Structure 1
Amino acid sequence: MERKHFLKNGLAALGLAAIAPLASACKKNTDTTTTDGSTTSGSTGSCTISPTETEGPFPTKSPGTLVKSDITGDRTGVPFTIKITITNKNNSCSALSGALVDIWHCDKDGNYSEYGGTSMQSTNYTSVHFLRGRQTTDSNGLVTFTSIFPGWYSGRATHIHVHVYNAAGTSLLVTQISFPEGSTSAVATVNGSGGTTYGYTKGMSGYTYNASDNVFSDDTAGMELSTVTGSLSGGYTLTHTINVAA
């Protein structure tokens, strides 16, 4: 069943979350203000703050309990390494050490842990916590996660959710990471005939590309677009830099 719209202010009301498509739930928020009072579209110094996005309908419920670098859990798929660097716009975009970075993404079938058994997601994964984790940035502003290549679901391009906090736990930015596309891209390869060996069976029919995705379609500067290298046999590595105001 197609996922339905998540109403952030109405989650406690339960049944209301199933009214509109999931794609609308992940709609872009363009009016968010950063902690220093500037908007996410503005820039200072040598870099621009990364775009702010909604957490979406499936944010991690207790991220502080999921401090781990290997977030695979019991999920199977193409091996995937995620390397995210956090920089501080307020310090000439130098590396931000000691920042808390939470990530989460769907499995190869498009399902999220910690949710399910509803019209938003029919498969019930409410009691498990796969493909979610928290790490603290090192002196280079880097966190590294071991995972599996994300699948996709109706209305959204392949993506990863990220929430960045300072060392004291104050939220700095919620954003999302998009993936390169094209006939030779990892997205096309994993979802092609070769990916079926690893359990990716959806193909690309009905896939929503970045240009039509209502979170990424206005990312004309490519600030949310990652770099993905590797192969099916050897696994893929994603690298991406996120700029915050700390």
Structure 2
Amino acid sequence: MQHDHDQGLAHDISRLHEQAFERRVALRWLLGAGAMSLTGAGAMTLAGCGGGGSSETTSTSSDSSSGSSGSSSGGSTGGSTTTTTCSVIPSETEGPYPGDGSNSANGSVANVLALSGIVRSDIRSSIGGASGIATGVPLQVIIELVNTNASCADLSGYAIYLWHCDALGRYSMYSSGVTGENYLRGVQATASDGTASFQTIYPGCYSGRVPHIHFEVYRSTTTATNWNNKLRTSQLCFPSDTNSAVYATSGYGNSAANNNAISLSTDGIFSDGYSTQMATMTGSAAAGYVARLKVGISV
């Protein structure tokens, strides 16, 4: 392996801090510009997207919170076409472990998107000749993709590439002990109701980050073969009570201690706002969870 997990994590945290700083600078500039033009026909209206970091805004957005962890436009029961209020989800770093062809692992380009079988709903097992299976509290992730430029209409036929760490905080393809695996990575097309569903496990919590899931949005499964084609990259997070319940179960290593040492307000990605990125949860640690998130993009 070329880079171990500790080296990759340090790099990840550094990139996260840089991105958070850039967002704060951009926000201060925007607020200053808005204050100078509040009168006259050229007055500028600022609408918060709830997560920060987005280069796009939408006239349908009414979510102005930047730190709410409760109900938000980010949560959804899925399949609804009656909602006319939504926000463009913030762009976030893909981190050092994307497996989308944008970097290398073990001396070669790491691109799980090129493997046969990557379009799948159940992402708990490895593919392409690898045989590992990730274990942990069952989790179904349902992402509803909507168009913020069309009254939040559901977007069908698009594709979501989703990936996250295992119960011990390791990323397949990159982390020591699982470099030969590619589990917890998969692509799904959005259905007629705009939803893409993944059967996976609840991710562990490694030092320096709150529990999270990465995802990229593509125009179709045929274009979801390389990072150059992606339309959006972001991350979703979970309520703190759900994290605590999961990490009280066995098999999650140091996740409980790591989770207790950080919060959404101190995380390098979510500290500037996460309301559009907070999953709505149902279920239990014993029976498994369902996480739902409405993801707005501008197309």
**TM-score class, shorter:** 0.7 to 0.9
- 2:129 paired residue number: none
The alignment yields a C-alpha RMSD, in angstroms, of 2.0
Q: State which structure, 1 or 2, has the greater radius of gyration over its C-alpha atoms.
A: 2
CA distance in 1, matches of 2:180, 2:144: 31
Residues 110-161 of structure 1 show CA distances to partners (whole Å, capped at 9, x for unaligned) of: 0001113xxxxxx232221100000000001001100111001111000000
CA distance in 2, matches of 1:62, 1:2: 19
In the alignment, structure 1 residue 58 sits paired with structure 2 residue 97: yes
Aligned residue identity for 1:78:
V
Aligned residue identity for 1:146:
Q
Residues 8-67 of structure 1 show CA distances to partners (whole Å, capped at 9, x for unaligned) of: xxxxxxxxxxxx453223454647xxxxxxx53522234321000011010022325311
CA distance in 1, matches of 2:202, 2:211: 9
**Partner of residue 273 from structure 2, selected from 207, 210, 219:** 219
Unaligned runs of 5+ in 1: 7-19, 32-38, 117-122
**Alignment check: 8 A CA contact 1:86 1:241 kept:** yes
| 4+ residue runs over 6 A deviation | none
Alignment of 1:117-196 (within 5 A): 123-167=176-220, 169=223, 170-181=229-240, 185-192=241-248, 195-196=249-250
**Alignment check: 8 A CA contact 1:87 1:243 kept:** yes
**Partner of residue 55 from structure 2, selected from 23, 35, 40:** 40
- 1:82 paired residue number: 141
Q: State the percentage of identical aligned residues.
A: 34
CA distance in 2, matches of 1:201, 1:5: 19
Aligned residue identity for 2:194:
G
3-state SS, counterpart of residue 244 of structure 2? helix
Residues 173-219 of structure 1 show CA distances to partners (whole Å, capped at 9, x for unaligned) of: 100001111xxx22001112xx02xx123253232211110100111
CA pair 2-75 structure 1, distance change in 2 beyond 3 A: closer
Unaligned runs of 5+ in 2: 27-53, 61-84, 100-110, 126-132, 224-228
The answer to which of 43-52 and 210-219 deviates more is 43-52
- 2:65 paired residue number: none
In the alignment, structure 1 residue 95 sits paired with structure 2 residue 154: yes
3-state SS, counterpart of residue 98 of structure 1? coil
CA distance in 1, matches of 2:141, 2:179: 24
Aligned residue identity for 2:146:
T
3-state SS, counterpart of residue 268 of structure 2? coil
3-state SS, counterpart of residue 87 of structure 1? strand
**Alignment check: 8 A CA contact 1:49 1:245 kept:** yes
In the alignment, structure 1 residue 204 sits paired with structure 2 residue 252: no
The answer to which of 41-50 and 86-95 deviates more is 41-50
- 1:13 paired residue number: none
**Alignment check: 8 A CA contact 2:89 2:234 kept:** yes
- 2:71 paired residue number: none
CA distance in 1, matches of 2:209, 2:154: 31
Give 1 or 2: higher helix fraction: 2
CA pair 56-203 structure 1, distance change in 2 beyond 3 A: closer
- 2:13 paired residue number: 23
CA distance in 2, matches of 1:115, 1:141: 31
3-state SS, counterpart of residue 188 of structure 1? helix
- 1:49 paired residue number: 88
**Alignment check: 8 A CA contact 2:159 2:189 kept:** yes
Deviation at 1:2, TM superposition (A): 6.4
How many residues align structurally? 212
- 1:234 paired residue number: 287
